[in-house]
Amino acid sequence: MEGIGRYSAAVYRLGQSIFNSKLKDLDISSGQYDFFLVIAKNEGINQKELGEWLYVEKSTTAKAVRQLETKGYICKKQVKKDKRYSSLYLTEKGREAASVVESVFNEMLDVYSKDIPENVIEDNISVLKKVINNLQEEKSRYTMSDRLTEDC
Protein backbone atom coordinates (compact mmCIF):
# COMPACT_ATOMS: atom_id res chain seq x y z
CA MET A 1 0.00 0.00 0.00
CA GLU A 2 1.92 2.96 -1.29
CA GLY A 3 1.49 5.84 1.12
CA ILE A 4 -2.11 5.44 2.35
CA GLY A 5 -1.18 7.52 5.40
CA ARG A 6 0.47 10.17 3.26
CA TYR A 7 -2.53 10.53 0.96
CA SER A 8 -5.07 10.40 3.79
CA ALA A 9 -3.15 13.13 5.62
CA ALA A 10 -2.95 15.25 2.45
CA VAL A 11 -6.72 14.97 1.87
CA TYR A 12 -7.33 15.92 5.50
CA ARG A 13 -4.93 18.91 5.52
CA LEU A 14 -6.07 20.31 2.18
CA GLY A 15 -9.72 19.95 3.14
CA GLN A 16 -9.19 21.58 6.53
CA SER A 17 -7.39 24.50 4.92
CA ILE A 18 -10.31 25.11 2.56
CA PHE A 19 -12.86 24.77 5.38
CA ASN A 20 -10.91 27.31 7.45
CA SER A 21 -10.97 29.80 4.58
CA LYS A 22 -14.67 29.32 3.84
CA LEU A 23 -15.78 29.51 7.48
CA LYS A 24 -13.44 32.31 8.54
CA ASP A 25 -16.22 34.92 8.82
CA LEU A 26 -18.15 32.70 11.24
CA ASP A 27 -15.07 32.03 13.39
CA ILE A 28 -15.72 28.30 13.14
CA SER A 29 -12.49 26.45 12.51
CA SER A 30 -11.87 23.18 10.73
CA GLY A 31 -11.47 21.62 14.17
CA GLN A 32 -14.99 22.68 15.15
CA TYR A 33 -17.18 22.47 12.06
CA ASP A 34 -17.68 18.70 12.20
CA PHE A 35 -18.75 18.89 15.86
CA PHE A 36 -21.06 21.77 14.96
CA LEU A 37 -22.66 19.86 12.07
CA VAL A 38 -23.27 16.72 14.11
CA ILE A 39 -24.91 18.78 16.86
CA ALA A 40 -27.00 20.66 14.26
CA LYS A 41 -28.24 17.39 12.75
CA ASN A 42 -28.70 15.66 16.15
CA GLU A 43 -29.81 18.29 18.64
CA GLY A 44 -29.94 16.80 22.13
CA ILE A 45 -26.88 14.60 21.54
CA ASN A 46 -24.55 14.40 24.54
CA GLN A 47 -20.76 14.83 24.51
CA LYS A 48 -20.06 11.12 24.85
CA GLU A 49 -22.22 10.29 21.83
CA LEU A 50 -20.73 13.20 19.89
CA GLY A 51 -17.18 11.96 20.48
CA GLU A 52 -18.10 8.41 19.52
CA TRP A 53 -19.81 9.62 16.34
CA LEU A 54 -16.66 11.50 15.28
CA TYR A 55 -14.15 8.90 16.56
CA VAL A 56 -12.40 11.40 18.85
CA GLU A 57 -11.23 11.40 22.45
CA LYS A 58 -13.30 12.87 25.29
CA SER A 59 -10.83 15.72 25.77
CA THR A 60 -11.00 16.71 22.09
CA THR A 61 -14.79 16.68 22.22
CA ALA A 62 -14.84 18.72 25.43
CA LYS A 63 -12.52 21.34 23.92
CA ALA A 64 -14.57 21.72 20.72
CA VAL A 65 -17.84 21.91 22.68
CA ARG A 66 -16.37 24.52 25.03
CA GLN A 67 -15.18 26.62 22.07
CA LEU A 68 -18.53 26.44 20.27
CA GLU A 69 -20.32 27.30 23.50
CA THR A 70 -17.99 30.26 24.18
CA LYS A 71 -18.62 31.55 20.66
CA GLY A 72 -22.36 31.36 21.29
CA TYR A 73 -23.18 28.66 18.73
CA ILE A 74 -24.35 25.94 21.12
CA CYS A 75 -25.66 25.57 24.65
CA LYS A 76 -25.67 22.69 27.12
CA LYS A 77 -28.74 21.51 29.00
CA GLN A 78 -28.44 19.15 31.95
CA VAL A 79 -30.09 15.76 31.43
CA LYS A 80 -32.64 15.21 34.20
CA LYS A 81 -32.23 11.43 34.29
CA ASP A 82 -28.43 11.51 34.53
CA LYS A 83 -26.77 14.68 35.81
CA ARG A 84 -23.38 13.53 34.47
CA TYR A 85 -24.47 14.26 30.92
CA SER A 86 -25.51 17.45 29.19
CA SER A 87 -27.50 17.56 25.97
CA LEU A 88 -26.17 19.87 23.28
CA TYR A 89 -28.35 22.27 21.30
CA LEU A 90 -27.86 25.06 18.81
CA THR A 91 -28.50 28.61 19.98
CA GLU A 92 -30.26 31.13 17.74
CA LYS A 93 -26.81 32.19 16.49
CA GLY A 94 -26.03 28.52 15.83
CA ARG A 95 -29.22 28.04 13.85
CA GLU A 96 -28.36 31.04 11.70
CA ALA A 97 -24.87 29.68 11.04
CA ALA A 98 -26.01 26.09 10.43
CA SER A 99 -27.22 26.67 6.88
CA VAL A 100 -23.92 28.34 5.93
CA VAL A 101 -21.81 25.57 7.50
CA GLU A 102 -23.95 22.88 5.88
CA SER A 103 -23.68 24.62 2.51
CA VAL A 104 -19.88 24.76 2.80
CA PHE A 105 -19.83 21.10 3.82
CA ASN A 106 -21.94 20.14 0.78
CA GLU A 107 -19.71 22.22 -1.51
CA MET A 108 -16.72 20.33 -0.15
CA LEU A 109 -18.41 16.98 -0.72
CA ASP A 110 -18.81 18.02 -4.35
CA VAL A 111 -15.13 19.00 -4.53
CA TYR A 112 -14.05 15.72 -2.92
CA SER A 113 -16.09 13.65 -5.36
CA LYS A 114 -15.62 15.69 -8.54
CA ASP A 115 -15.04 13.48 -11.61
CA ILE A 116 -15.12 10.29 -9.51
CA PRO A 117 -17.77 7.70 -10.44
CA GLU A 118 -20.28 6.85 -7.69
CA ASN A 119 -19.21 3.19 -7.57
CA VAL A 120 -15.59 4.21 -6.96
CA ILE A 121 -16.70 6.50 -4.13
CA GLU A 122 -18.72 3.66 -2.59
CA ASP A 123 -15.73 1.31 -2.87
CA ASN A 124 -13.49 3.88 -1.20
CA ILE A 125 -15.97 4.38 1.62
CA SER A 126 -15.95 0.61 2.19
CA VAL A 127 -12.16 0.61 2.29
CA LEU A 128 -12.08 3.55 4.70
CA LYS A 129 -14.58 1.82 7.00
CA LYS A 130 -12.30 -1.22 7.06
CA VAL A 131 -9.28 0.98 7.81
CA ILE A 132 -11.21 2.62 10.68
CA ASN A 133 -12.15 -0.81 12.03
CA ASN A 134 -8.52 -1.97 11.83
CA LEU A 135 -7.34 1.15 13.64
CA GLN A 136 -9.99 0.81 16.35
CA GLU A 137 -8.96 -2.79 16.95
CA GLU A 138 -5.32 -1.77 17.20
CA LYS A 139 -6.14 1.14 19.50
CA SER A 140 -8.14 -1.17 21.74
CA ARG A 141 -5.20 -3.59 22.01
CA TYR A 142 -2.81 -0.71 22.65
CA THR A 143 -4.91 0.90 25.37
CA MET A 144 -5.65 -2.48 26.98
CA SER A 145 -1.94 -3.33 27.18
CA ASP A 146 -1.31 0.09 28.77
CA ARG A 147 -3.84 -0.69 31.48
CA LEU A 148 -2.24 -4.05 32.16
CA THR A 149 1.28 -2.66 32.55
CA GLU A 150 0.58 0.45 34.63
CA ASP A 151 2.15 0.49 38.08
CA CYS A 152 -0.01 1.34 41.07
Give me the CATH number covering residue 14.
1.10.10.10
For the chain, percent helix, then strand, then coil, each to nearest 5? 70, 5, 25
Show the domain range for 45. 4-114
Residue 102 within any structural domain of the chain: yes
Residue 151 within any structural domain of the chain: no
Among residues 132, 104, 101, 141, the alpha carbon closest in space to that of 8 is found at: 132
- In this predicted model, what pLDDT tens digit does every residue of 6-26 receive, in sequence order? 998 999 999 999 999 999 999
pTM for this entry: 0.80
Residue 53 within any structural domain of the chain: yes
Residue 40 within any structural domain of the chain: yes
pLDDT cut 70: percent of the chain above it: 92
Residue 126 within any structural domain of the chain: no
Q: State how many domains the chain has.
A: 1
Angle at 93 between CA 67 and CA 97, to 5 degrees: 85
Residue 121 within any structural domain of the chain: no
